[in-house]
Amino acid sequence: MRNCRHHIDRLCAGAFAAALFLVTAAATPVAAQEIVKIGEIEAQTGALNTYGWMSSQGMRMAVDEINKAGGFEVAGKTYKLALLNPDTQGNPQQALIELKKMLEQEHVRFVFGPFLTNVYKGIEPYATGFDGKFLLMGGATAIHFDLGKPKHDFAIRTWNWDAGASGFGSLMVANLKQRGAKKVAMLMQNDAFGHVARDIYAPLFKDAGIVFEEEWFEPGTTDFSSVLAKIAANKPDYVFPGYSDAVLYDIVHQATELGLTRFWLVRGSLGPGLKNKDYLDDYIIYIPKYFEEAQNTEPKVKKFVADYKAFYKTDFPYDQAPLCSSSCYDHVFMLVEAMKRAGTVDDVAKVKEALLSFTYNGLWNIRYDATGEEVFNFDVVDIKKGGKIEVTHIAPK
């Protein structure tokens, strides 16, 4: 009986050793092709999805292209990307929940977004607790003010609008002065970005000698007649309106009915301007790239447009595509390049250092300045009455 038991034990040990060998052998190819998780916290739906939808679209494409090409090699290992991009709907609470999941459960080290200042303000206190453990690469204007602050090494700003030494805030105000503007009325949503915008532009207008008046509206407002009538009574040269398509369609339409026909520093898409093209005189929108023109002159843009159509099997969203300049397609390739240069996919400090050291030539020419703020070329589109479009290309030094 004892002998029999001894044989069984030996048999089990042998079987265990064989199984261990098989498992190890099977695991070897998997280990050679590891996964780097990247996250994204952007609004893909909702009233403010203008500032997130295209980012998520471009990011999916970039991840797919990199993975289909076999991944990328860092320090002798081949990696593929896994993208976690839940929809925050532009809601700071939802964004916080998603960020917590990414950092605490998924152990993600590279997170793209947010584009919205109010969302950034909602996650920033939590994010500081993970400083040094991850990178947050978002376009929110409020990130500009946190760059270089203690406990904010995690922050990288993937846009240069409004604020920043290489941003266009002061440039735009100078441009407006050249157009002969003496008075500008800002009509902005009463939220975090609205107040950040006021804080940036009020001094710039004052320095330029342009009279600046401000009016505010609550999120969810659709009838702007009263406040626009008040603005119209003061006869401003330009209206500097709220920042998302959700309100711009209503504001621009109702403003033109009251005789306000010049709009400046409009952001969002060309949609509200083009819809009202017969009723306005000037609709100056600052967009990162005018794709309708660029696809005929830039091969990379042409390829991107074709790839987008093939990937999503739908028309190319010309109105949304310019917003791919922040935390989007190019930025994924840039992050991968930074990992290669840093020789690590884990050490966020080294990856950040590498990220800030080169210029990436993709859809845009992108680099980061010493503070971690993006510098890139952008276009200014001026829609004239009837829909005639004039484009100016600007490449910051």
- Considering only the stretches 26-34, 175-183, 246-254, 363-371, report the one whose residues sit in contact with another protein under the rule CB under 8 A: 246-254
Binding mask 64-103 for another protein (x = CB under 8 A): -------------------------x--------------
Binding mask 182-221 for another protein (x = CB under 8 A): --------x------------------------xxxx-xx
Radius of gyration of the chain (CA): 25
Q: How many residues bind another protein (CB under 8 A)?
A: 32
Which one among 37, 46, 198, 358 touches another protein, defined by CB under 8 A? 46
- The nearer residue to another protein, 99 or 248, going by C-beta atoms, is 248
Hey, CA dihedral for 385, 386, 387, 392, is it positive or negative? Answer: negative
Between CA 324 and CA 50 the distance in angstroms is: 11
- The answer to whether 51 touches 43, Cβ cutoff 8 Å, is yes
Angle formed by the axes of helices 53-68 and 299-312, to 10°?
90
Minimum Å gap between C-beta 48 and another protein is 10
Work out the angle at residue 145's Cα, subtended by the Cα atoms of residues 140 and 146, and round it to the nearest 5 degrees: 90
What count of other Cβ atoms lies within 10 Å of the Cβ of residue 391? Answer: 14
Work out the angle at residue 382's Cα, subtended by the Cα atoms of residues 377 and 384, and round it to the nearest 5 degrees: 165
- The nearer residue to another protein, 141 or 276, going by C-beta atoms, is 276
**Considering the rule CB under 8 A, would residue 224 count as an interface residue with another protein?**
yes
Which one among 63, 136, 200, 227 touches another protein, defined by CB under 8 A? 227
Minimum Å gap between C-beta 187 and another protein is 9
Contacts of 97 (CB under 8 A, 6+ apart): none
Between CA 28 and CA 48 the distance in angstroms is: 45
**Considering the rule CB under 8 A, would residue 137 count as an interface residue with another protein?**
no
**Considering the rule CB under 8 A, would residue 274 count as an interface residue with another protein?**
no
Which one among 97, 171, 208, 229 touches another protein, defined by CB under 8 A? 229
Contacts of 194 (CB under 8 A, 6+ apart): 188, 216, 242, 243
Which residues here bind another protein, judged by CB under 8 A? 45-47, 49, 89, 190, 215-218, 220-227, 229-230, 233, 245-247, 249-250, 253-254, 257-258, 275, 279
